[in-house]
């Protein structure tokens, strides 16, 4: 038991080094560093980029938009998911609307987002919201509607009212499912912010990638991609940590 | 006193499966008594629990507790389920306290009651554990404690020890009787295990196959407190074979397959 996390961390590290090794080998075989930069050159580029104030500003701009859109989506997705999960009649009204809007990818909303909100933070936040809201809503709804009936029966026969059942049975038993929604939502939101910034912003990692693409600086483009990947993975870890704290009874 | 008077109940699963579960069942449960219900599998034993708990309503007949008709679930008729149904997201302490909180007890009273229950169920050192960290027997003790804490008029137990292995089951039955001696409590216990019914019950209600009717109500002659030794006494074995003989006629091989 005790050495398990060490073993796991070791294999995580080995797996990442393996990926870097294959990348390095592929770039050496391809042998055109202008088109296919090696991990070493990208790493050096990243160190250089992070010494520029501009790049850090871009990273922070993207993060701010993701956090804002994700929080909005989290609050609305979870509360609407719970309310529609409890109230069947409301679900008959809300579900068809959700099912129609959900398949539209956030990117397809970009023209409307820019028309509505202009350029800058707002369209990006709106897109993150759209990307994150649907998985959060759907998983919350699923969690609330799939609560084991025994728990509800048990609660009723212990004297619980509807309010106590919602607070002490429906919500806690849906938490694992809600967290799946939050994780997926954060992932989609992070993708959506990059897409939004490539088109409708003057800052952010997506904007930086787009600019460097126009300047044919592939090294910087790939550095941007690596930054996106690493930050996305870190955000995911952060959510896992929160999950462990909030759901101590269910370690998976 | 709890009284079933000519209670019938059928289930209609979308017109395909019309099942008559209970047919004009009448019986009474005296205060502080343990009434065990045995019968062939699928005969409607659990239906009796669900009716008395107020989860379902009878087609005809009446069910009264202290003269009042049963209407919907209430903590006065609380249920202990076969697979414990403890809230996995609450610790042992909070599971036991849940009904008390619903009752609106102050936190001091809650804490005191929880302490009492933890001590009679021997779960003191596990009070901060989650159900997933407990053994099957401890979970069932905790579920029993959760029910005892709210001081219901009757505890309805639906095959409460069925998922335990035989040794744990024997031990927990003895433990249950000890607790029962400390807290006078009316209990309706449904089981398919005849030994369990005789060891725990003051009376045993033997049901027929579906639609269930009452075959016989047996008064168990053993004094309480009961020692585990009675399990091997001749009298115990006699009652067991008598019940088994009654049930045998109703258990056909077709029903088993």
The pLDDT value recorded for residue B254 is 53
Q: Mind listing the pLDDT tens digit for each residue in A148-180?
A: 999 999 999 999 999 999 999 999 999 999 999
Could you tell me the two tokens for B248? 């045998």
Provide the phi-psi class of B54: left if phi over 0, else alpha when psi is between -120 and 50, else beta: left
Cis peptide before B225 (omega within 30 of 0): yes
Q: Give the span between the Cα atoms of B243 and B38, in whole angstroms.
A: 9
Residue with structure tokens 């554990």?
Answer: B129
**Closest C-alpha among A133, A71, A70 to residue A102:** A133
Q: Please report residues of B whose CB lies closer than 8 A to that of A160.
A: 98, 102
- Nearest 5°: the CA angle B22, B53, B138 is 115
The DSSP element (H or E) to which B248 belongs, if any, is helix B234-248
Cβ atoms of residues B34 and B202 within 8 Å: yes
Cis peptide before B184 (omega within 30 of 0): no
The pLDDT value recorded for residue B41 is 78
The domain locations on chain B are 2-76+152-255, 87-151
**Closest C-alpha among B106, B107, B98, B87 to residue B146:** B98
The pLDDT value recorded for residue A4 is 64
The pLDDT value recorded for residue A157 is 94
The pLDDT value recorded for residue B73 is 93
Q: Give the span between the Cα atoms of B120 and B125, in whole angstroms.
A: 12
Cβ of residue B153 closer than 8 Å to a chain A Cβ: no
Rounded to a whole number, what is the distance in Å from the CA of A8 to chain B's nearest CA?
A: 24
Cβ of residue A152 closer than 8 Å to a chain B Cβ: no
- The reply to whether residue B87 touches residue A168, judged by beta carbons under 8 angstroms, is yes
Question: Is B186 a residue whose pLDDT tops 60?
Answer: yes
Could you tell me the two tokens for B114? 């929880």
B204 has which bridge partners?
A: B36, B218
Q: Give the span between the Cα atoms of A28 and B225, in whole angstroms.
A: 84
The pLDDT value recorded for residue A3 is 54
- The reply to whether residue A153 touches residue B74, judged by beta carbons under 8 angstroms, is no
Could you tell me the two tokens for B240? 């067991």
Q: Please give the C-alpha separations between residue B203 and each of B34, B58, B66, B216, in angstroms, as whole numbers.
A: 7, 24, 19, 10
What sign does the dihedral B207-B208-B211-B217 (CA atoms) show?
Answer: negative
The pLDDT value recorded for residue B225 is 82
Q: Mind listing the pLDDT tens digit for each residue in A134-151?
A: 999 999 999 999 999 999
The DSSP element (H or E) to which B66 belongs, if any, is none
Q: Mind listing the pLDDT tens digit for each residue in B79-126?
A: 999 888 999 999 999 999 999 999 999 999 999 999 999 998 889 999
Q: Please give the C-alpha separations between residue A207 and each of A211, A214, A215, B113, B164, in angstroms, as whole numbers.
A: 6, 11, 12, 62, 62
Domains and CATH numbers, chain A: 40-246 (1.10.3720.10)
Rounded to a whole number, what is the distance in Å from the CA of A172 to chain B's nearest CA?
A: 7
The pLDDT value recorded for residue B255 is 54
CATH number of B2-76+152-255: 3.40.50.300
- The reply to whether residue A154 touches residue B79, judged by beta carbons under 8 angstroms, is yes
The pLDDT value recorded for residue B256 is 52
Best mutation target among B77, B78, B85 (most A Cβ atoms within 10 Å) is: B85
Lowest mean pLDDT among A150-154, B19-23, B249-253: B249-253
pTM, entire model: 0.84
- Calculate the CA B233 to chain-centre distance: 25
Q: How confident is the model at residue B55 (pLDDT cuts 50, 70, 90)?
A: very high
- Calculate the CA B49 to chain-centre distance: 8
How much of chain B, in percent, has pLDDT values that exceed 90? Answer: 62
- The reply to whether residue B79 touches residue A153, judged by beta carbons under 8 angstroms, is yes
Q: Give the span between the Cα atoms of B190 and B158, in whole angstroms.
A: 5
Q: How confident is the model at residue B257 (pLDDT cuts 50, 70, 90)?
A: very low
Q: Please give the C-alpha separations between residue B121 and each of B36, B157, B187, in angstroms, as whole numbers.
A: 22, 16, 17
The rounded radius of gyration (Å) of the Cα atoms in chain A is 22
The pLDDT value recorded for residue A1 is 44
Task: Name the residue in chain A with its Cα closest to that of B88.
Answer: A249
φ/ψ of residue B190, rounded to 5? -95, 130
Q: What's the half-sphere exposure (Cβ side, CA atoms, 13 Å) at B98?
A: 34
* CB within 8 Å of B127: residues ≥ 6 apart: B91, B92, B93, B114, B118
Instruction: Going residue by residue through chain A, which has 252 residues, state the pLDDT in tens, using 9 for 90 and above.
Output: 445 677 888 898 999 999 999 999 999 998 887 888 999 999 999 999 999 888 999 999 999 999 999 999 999 999 999 999 999 899 999 999 999 999 999 989 999 999 999 888 999 999 999 999 999 999 999 999 999 999 999 999 999 999 999 999 999 999 999 999 999 999 999 999 999 999 888 899 999 999 999 998 999 999 999 999 999 999 999 999 999 888 988 754
Higher pLDDT, A77 or B67: A77
């Amino acid at each position: 038991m005790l050495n398990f996390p060490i073993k796991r961390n070791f294999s995580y590290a080995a797996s990442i080094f393996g990926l870097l090794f294959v990348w390095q080998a592929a770039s050496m075989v391809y042998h055109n560093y202008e088109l296919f930069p090696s991990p070493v050159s990208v790493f050096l580029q990243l160190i250089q980029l992070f010494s520029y104030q501009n790049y850090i500003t871009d990273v922070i701009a993207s993060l701010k938009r993701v956090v804002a859109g994700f929080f909005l989506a989290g609050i609305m997705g979870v509360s609407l998911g719970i309310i529609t999960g409890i109230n069947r009649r409301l679900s008959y009204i809300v579900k068809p609307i959700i099912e129609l809007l959900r398949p539209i990818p956030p990117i397809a909303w970009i023209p409307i987002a820019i028309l509505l909100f202009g350029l800058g933070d707002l369209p990006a936040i709106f897109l993150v919201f759209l990307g994150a809201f649907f998985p959060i809503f759907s998983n919350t709804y699923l969690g609330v509607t799939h609560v084991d009936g025994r728990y509800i029966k048990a609660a009723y026969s212990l004297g619980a009212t509807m309010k106590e059942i919602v607070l002490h049975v429906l919500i806690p038993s849906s938490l694992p499912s809600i967290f799946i929604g939050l994780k997926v939502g954060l992932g989609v939101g992070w993708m959506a912010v990059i897409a939004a910034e490539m088109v409708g912003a003057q800052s952010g990692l997506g904007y930086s990638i787009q600019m460097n693409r126009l300047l044919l600086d592939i090294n910087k483009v790939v550095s941007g991609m690596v930054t996106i990947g690493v930050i996305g993975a870190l955000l995911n870890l952060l959510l896992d940590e929160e999950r462990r704290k909030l759901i101590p009874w269910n370690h998976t | 006193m709890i009284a079933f008077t000519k209670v019938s109940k059928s289930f209609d699963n979308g017109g395909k499966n019309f099942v008559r579960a209970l047919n004009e069942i009448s019986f009474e449960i005296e205060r502080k008594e343990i009434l065990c219900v045995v019968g062939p599998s699928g005969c409607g034993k659990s239906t009796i629990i669900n009716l008395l708990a107020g989860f379902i309503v009878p087609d005809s007949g009446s069910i009264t507790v202290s003269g009042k008709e049963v209407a919907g679930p209430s903590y006065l008729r609380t249920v202990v389920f076969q697979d414990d149904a403890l809230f996995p997201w609450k610790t042992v302490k909070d599971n036991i306290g849940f009904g008390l909180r619903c009752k609106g007890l102050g936190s001091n009273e809650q804490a005191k009651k929880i302490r009492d229950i933890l001590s009679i169920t021997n779960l003191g050192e596990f009070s901060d554990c989650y159900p997933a960290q407990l053994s099957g027997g401890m979970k069932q003790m905790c579920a029993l404690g959760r029910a005892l804490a709210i001081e219901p008029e009757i505890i309805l137990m639906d095959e409460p020890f069925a998922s335990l292995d035989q040794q744990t089951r024997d031990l927990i039955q003895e433990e249950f009787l000890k607790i029962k001696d400390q807290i006078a409590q009316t209990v309706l216990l449904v089981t398919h295990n005849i030994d369990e019914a005789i060891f725990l019950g003051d009376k045993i209600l033997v049901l027929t196959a579906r639609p269930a009717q009452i075959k016989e109500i047996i008064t168990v002659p053993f004094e309480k407190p009961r020692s585990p030794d009675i399990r091997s006494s001749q009298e115990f074995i006699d009652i067991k074979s008598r019940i088994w003989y009654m049930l045998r006629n109703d258990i056909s091989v077709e029903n088993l397959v």
